[in-house]
Amino acid sequence: MDSTTLQVLGVCSAIIIPLLFVAAVIKDKSSRHIILFFCWGTLTGFLAFIGNGIFSGAWSLGMAPEERLPTAIAPIVEEFLKALPLLLLLNQKKHPHIGMSVVYCALASGAGFSVQETIFYFSMSQGTAPDLLVLIIRTLTTALMHGMATGIFGLGLMILQKQRHILLPVIFGLLAVSTSIHALFNLLLPTNAAIIAMLIPVGLYLAGLAVLAGMTGPETGSE
């Protein structure tokens, strides 16, 4: 295991282990789920780091590595991993009703991933004041995008939970939406249309607040 991989794993461990202690003492099941999903998102940062390296080397897709990773490989790998534990909530016996908590858990998973990723990129910088400014901008844009992309998957599960007879197409459809948003953001960010990329997660966040404000439902995992 090289030093960069160890660094990513170290950051991951430093975030997850204390939060697991916190989750162990929390009695409210929904709150505990949110913390555990945040831990999963952080772990996903490490898993995606490994997965992106494997798949970017295995699939050429007719593009150079620096082109295929952010637009063709990373969105698929990262969105799949971030959303993976949300599928556990589709167990109808344990979770007959998928409530608002699925959205909160999805957002927590995306946020956990973004924290790991942002710390990693900042650790690779010189640690100067401009680097700190980049970190803040990244937190307000890229980090928010990760949370919203996974949050859309969770929101879709909550809205479409009654369509269990077409569950597989629904899951793949939601993953396609999340992946497309992620890929579009990465595609636009290094171009002259970067401002549009930055506005995508902000717009999704505001739209999500409006949607959630108009919805009510049982909490996922409530006892």
User: Which pLDDT band holds residue 67 (cuts at 50, 70, 90)?
Assistant: low
pLDDT for position 185: 94
User: Which pLDDT band holds residue 218 (cuts at 50, 70, 90)?
Assistant: very low
Q: pLDDT tens digits, residue range 84-115?
A: 999 888 777 777 777 888 999 999 999 999 99
| Lowest-confidence segment of 75-89, 150-164, 205-219 by average pLDDT | 205-219
Rounded to 5 degrees, φ, ψ at 216 are: -135, 155
Instruction: Record the tokens describing residue 200, joined without a space.
Output: 């995508």
Going by C-alpha positions, the residue among 121, 146, 159 that lies closest to residue 200 is: 146
* Alpha carbons 122 and 134: distance in angstroms, whole number: 9
* Alpha carbons 140 and 146: distance in angstroms, whole number: 11
98 close to 158: Cβ distance less than 8 angstroms: yes
- When comparing pLDDT for 169 and 22, which is higher? 22
**Residue 175 scores a pLDDT above 70:** yes
What's the rounded mean pLDDT across residues 129-146? 91
Max avg pLDDT among 18-32, 56-70, 151-165, 204-218? 18-32
pLDDT for position 55: 80
Going by C-alpha positions, the residue among 118, 112, 64 that lies closest to residue 84 is: 112
Sequence-separated contacts (24+) of 16-20 with Cβ below 8 Å: 16/42, 16/43
Per-domain boundaries in the chain:
3-58+69-213
pLDDT for position 151: 94
Helices then strands, each counted (H, E), the chain: 9, 0
